[in-house]
A and B are shown apart, each in its own frame.
Chain A
Amino acid sequence: QVQLVQSGAEVKKPGASVKVSCKASGYSFTDYDINWVRQAPGQGPEWMGWMNPDSGDTGYAQKFQGRVTLTRDTSIGTAYMELSSLRSEDTAVYYCARNPSHSGWFDPWGQGTLVTVSS
C-alpha cells in the first residue's frame, strides 16, 4: 500500500540543524509532490514547503525561507527536510505528506517525527 515512513525522533541543541527523511513506497515516487508540515505541541498544522521529486522544484513558506531545505534521492524514493538554526520554538512533530501537483489532497501522511530543541 501507499506509505510514507519517516525517520526517528531527534533531540537537538539550539543553533543546530536537523534532517528528517521520508521514504515513499507503494507508488512511483516521482509522480507526486511531497509537502512538509509541522505541528507544535497543542497547535494546529503549519505548512513549511513542497517539493516535486521529479524536477526537484521546491517552494517554501515565507516564514521558513532561508532556513529550510527540501531535497530528495530518487534512487531510493526518499525525501528530506533540513531545518537549520534551530530554536526552542521549532520543537514540533514534523510530517511529510504526498499530494498531486497543485493540489491540497495530502494523502497519505508520514507517521511524524518529533524534533525537540533543548539546551
Chain B
Amino acid sequence: QAVVTQPSSLSASPGASASLTCTLRSGVNVGSYNIYWFQQKPGSPPQCLLRYKSDSDKRQGSGVPSRFSGSKDASANAGILLISGLQSEDEADYYCMIWHNSAWVFGGGTKLTVL
C-alpha cells in the first residue's frame, strides 16, 4: 500500500470550494508530518503552494492566494488542501508530499477540473 494516496480526479464549479485529500497509510500518523502541497500545470514544473503541519505551524508560498489553505483531518489520517472561490486558472494537477523514512514521498496527484 502506498504511503500517500490522493484521489485521481476532482471536479468543481467556478466559485465553489474544492477539498483535496492526501491520505496517509495506516500507521503513518498525519499529526506528525509536515504536508507540502504543489500545483502543476501542463508543461511546467510543480510549484510549491503551502506547507501545513498545524494551525500554528504552516507556511504559505509567496504570491499564493489566501484562498488556498491547508488543514488536517485526524480521523481520516489525511492532509487537506482547500481551495475556495475556484477560478478557471486553478485547473491543474495537485500533489502532496511528506518526508517519510528518510525520503520525500509524493502522492499520485489529483487532477482538478473547474467546470
If over half of B's interface residues share one DSSP class (helix, strand or loop), that class is named, otherwise mixed; here it is: strand
With A106-B48, A109-B46 already in contact, the answer to whether A44 and B106 are too (CB < 8 A) is yes
Chain A: interface size category? 20 to 34
B107 vs chain A, min Cβ distance (A): 7
Q: Which residues of B17-64 have CB atoms within 8 Å of chain A's CB atoms? A: 34, 36, 38, 40, 45-48, 51, 59, 61
A15 vs chain B, min Cβ distance (A): 27
- Cβ-based interface call for B109 (8 A): yes
Chain B: CB-nearest residue to A47: B104
A98 vs chain B, min Cβ distance (A): 10
Q: Is the CB of A47 within 8 A of B102?
A: no
The one of B34, B106, B109 that contacts A47, using a Cβ cutoff of 8 Å? B106
Q: Is the CB of B106 within 8 A of A46?
A: yes
Q: Is the CB of A105 within 8 A of B51?
A: yes
